[in-house]
Chains A and B, each alone.
Chain A
Amino acid sequence: MKLKLRIWRQKNAADKGRMVTYEVDDISEDASFLEMLDVLNERLAVEGEEPVAFDHDCREGICGMCSLVINGQPHGPERNTTTCQLHMRKFKDGETIDIEPWRAKAFPVVKDLVVDRGAFDKIIEAGGYISASTGTAPDAHATPVPKADADKAFVAAECIGCGACVAACPNGSAALFMSAKISHLGLLPQGQPERDDRVVNMVRTHDDLDFGGCTNTGECTVACPKGIPLEFIGRMNKDWLSASGK
């Protein structure tokens, strides 16, 4: 495949940045999106140019590091798929592809397509944990969990913390991410002791970090590579209202 790429290049946090056009040729349809960028970077390195910086780690859709806005869509055009699991066969030969970093005040650009998602760590530090010491793996029947709750907690636990929800949200809100963490812990018995403090402190930290407020537009769940449902945001709202009323 032959492609025209328009990529956001930005030297460092202080640089203004701009879109730069590159052409790549001979890209296999079976290549992943990141492999396609690897091909470009090898060529740039040979030509003595600075390779395009982008985040990645596992390249198998589980770590949450990859983060590209492709033609305006976080993680590209395929539903429930991370950038690293996206393949070039989803694009047309000769197509122009725009590649940009996540855009949010809370996720400042470090370089090119790499953003600092430390804001998510701060939200987790504010309550995304349990304080009970877990020790070694307990007997499976030591703490009974209703099947329906366990299943739901599992769905919430699928969140890989990639930040696509923030990138997609017209308000720049991290409600989906936060609600996944709050629901994941709040549905299980071990998460109950901190349940009220967790939601109040996480939401406050989220707001202090200059994320926007959720207005139920639903863009986040469409962009989310793990299909985290909006239902969890409703759950978070309920938990927050009940905790704030106490």
Chain B
Amino acid sequence: MAIASIPSLYRSTVGKKAIMAVTGVLMVLWLIGHMVGNLKIFFGLEEFNGYAAWLRTLGAPALHEGWFLWVMRFGLLAAVVLHFSTAAELTVRAKRARPVKYQHRAKVNGSYAARTMRWGGVIILLFIVWHILDLTVGTVNPHGVHGEAYQNVVAGFAPDRWYITLFYVLAVVSLGFHLRHGLVSAVQTLGLKNPRQDKALNVIATGFAALITVGFLIVPISVTLGVVD
């Protein structure tokens, strides 16, 4: 894809979906790394905080400490903004495309995951904002000390803050559904879907979505249940 044609991507309904698919896949790749990192909490304070500190040194000595992280943050921000804005525009377009609604709306055939992409996405977006304030910036975290990631997590999901854990569960389950449809959808959007492999693709998407959901939820739930403290 020539760089010059990126604006034409943005103008077309097919191109907008391609932008959603590519940014979605980039976020998924990042999520895998994030999940693996989170699971290190089960190996204790030292290993977890050491890992958090090491993240800052990524790219050194070529890059100054923390630079790599900032590049990644801007990349992720761009992905979220592009993903969200194209989703919003396609939603507005869809409303415009059917100004008069049906009186009798039959129940739709599409899966639950497919039908909740938009509202599920909004839940995920709200979650992302909270999550950054909680464990990145620390403003809404009861501990909130830079460099003490382990203590922040333990304080954030403490048993008496079960409602926070509940919100994380809701958000991550939404993410799981989002990815269940999203992965298959992205393959179709990019024209890579082969109908003969539909079954395999569906199994992979369900398995991957379940893995991500469990992999992310096991940490806050373990803290709330006192398994990690």
- Chain A contacts to B: CB under 8 angstroms: 6, 8, 19, 69, 71-73, 98, 100, 103-106, 170-173, 203-204, 206-207, 210-219, 222, 229-231, 233-241, 244-246
Which of B97, B117, B181, B184 lies in contact with A104, CB distance below 8 A? Answer: B97
The reply to whether B114 and A216 form a contact with Cβ atoms under 8 Å apart is: yes
Question: Which 7 pairs between the two chains have the least Cβ-Cβ distance?
Answer: A238-B191, A172-B97, A72-B106, A213-B13, A212-B97, A98-B104, A171-B94
Q: Which of the candidate stretches B4-12, B166-174, B216-224 sits at the interface with the other chain? A: B4-12
Contacts between chains A and B (CB distance < 8 A), count: 138
List the A side residues contacting B11 at CB < 8 Å: 207
The reply to whether A173 and B13 form a contact with Cβ atoms under 8 Å apart is: yes
User: Once bound together, how far apart are the Cα atoms of A106 and B102, in whole Å?
Assistant: 15
Q: Given A213-B90, A245-B5, A237 and B17 touching (CB < 8 A)?
A: yes
Chain B, 184-214, contact with A by CB distance < 8 Å: what is the 0/1 string? 1100111111010000000000000000000
20 examples of A-B residue contacts, CB within 8 angstroms: A8-B103, A69-B104, A71-B106, A72-B106, A103-B101, A106-B97, A173-B94, A203-B13, A210-B96, A212-B90, A214-B13, A215-B185, A217-B115, A222-B109, A229-B195, A231-B193, A234-B192, A236-B14, A238-B192, A240-B191
Which of B8, B93, B102, B110 lies in contact with A72, CB distance below 8 A? Answer: B102
Say yes or no: is B16 at the interface (Cβ < 8 Å to chain A). yes
Min CB–CB distance A67 → chain B (angstroms)? 14
Say yes or no: is B1 at the interface (Cβ < 8 Å to chain A). yes
The reply to whether B12 and A203 form a contact with Cβ atoms under 8 Å apart is: yes
The reply to whether B188 and A234 form a contact with Cβ atoms under 8 Å apart is: yes
The reply to whether B102 and A172 form a contact with Cβ atoms under 8 Å apart is: no
The reply to whether A244 and B114 form a contact with Cβ atoms under 8 Å apart is: no
The reply to whether A215 and B90 form a contact with Cβ atoms under 8 Å apart is: yes
| Chain A residue at minimal CB-CB distance from B99 | A105
List the A side residues contacting B110 at CB < 8 Å: 170, 217-219
Say yes or no: is B100 at the interface (Cβ < 8 Å to chain A). yes
Which of A100, A215, A235 lies in contact with B191, CB distance below 8 A? Answer: A235
Min CB–CB distance A211 → chain B (angstroms)? 6
The reply to whether A244 and B195 form a contact with Cβ atoms under 8 Å apart is: no
The reply to whether A237 and B106 form a contact with Cβ atoms under 8 Å apart is: no
Q: Given A100-B104, A238-B192, A212 and B93 touching (CB < 8 A)?
A: yes
Which of B102, B115, B185, B195 lies in contact with A103, CB distance below 8 A? Answer: B102
| Chain B residue at minimal CB-CB distance from A238 | B191
The reply to whether A72 and B104 form a contact with Cβ atoms under 8 Å apart is: yes
Q: Given A231-B195, A241-B1, A172 and B94 touching (CB < 8 A)?
A: yes
The reply to whether B97 and A203 form a contact with Cβ atoms under 8 Å apart is: no
List the B side residues contacting A244 at CB < 8 Å: 1, 5, 8-9, 12, 15
Say yes or no: is B108 at the interface (Cβ < 8 Å to chain A). yes
Can you name 6 extra interface pairs (CB under 8 A) apart from A170-B108, A236-B191, A237-B190? A100-B104, A105-B98, A213-B93, A218-B109, A233-B188, A240-B12
Report which residue of B2, B5, B94, B105 has the largest number of chain A beta carbons within 10 angstroms of its beta carbon. Answer: B94
List the A side residues contacting B2 at CB < 8 Å: 245-246
List the A side residues contacting B94 at CB < 8 Å: 170-173, 212-213, 215
Report which residue of B97, B99, B190 has the largest number of chain A beta carbons within 10 angstroms of its beta carbon. Answer: B97
Q: Given A213-B17, A217-B115, A240-B12, A173 and B189 touching (CB < 8 A)?
A: no
Min CB–CB distance A45 → chain B (angstroms)? 25
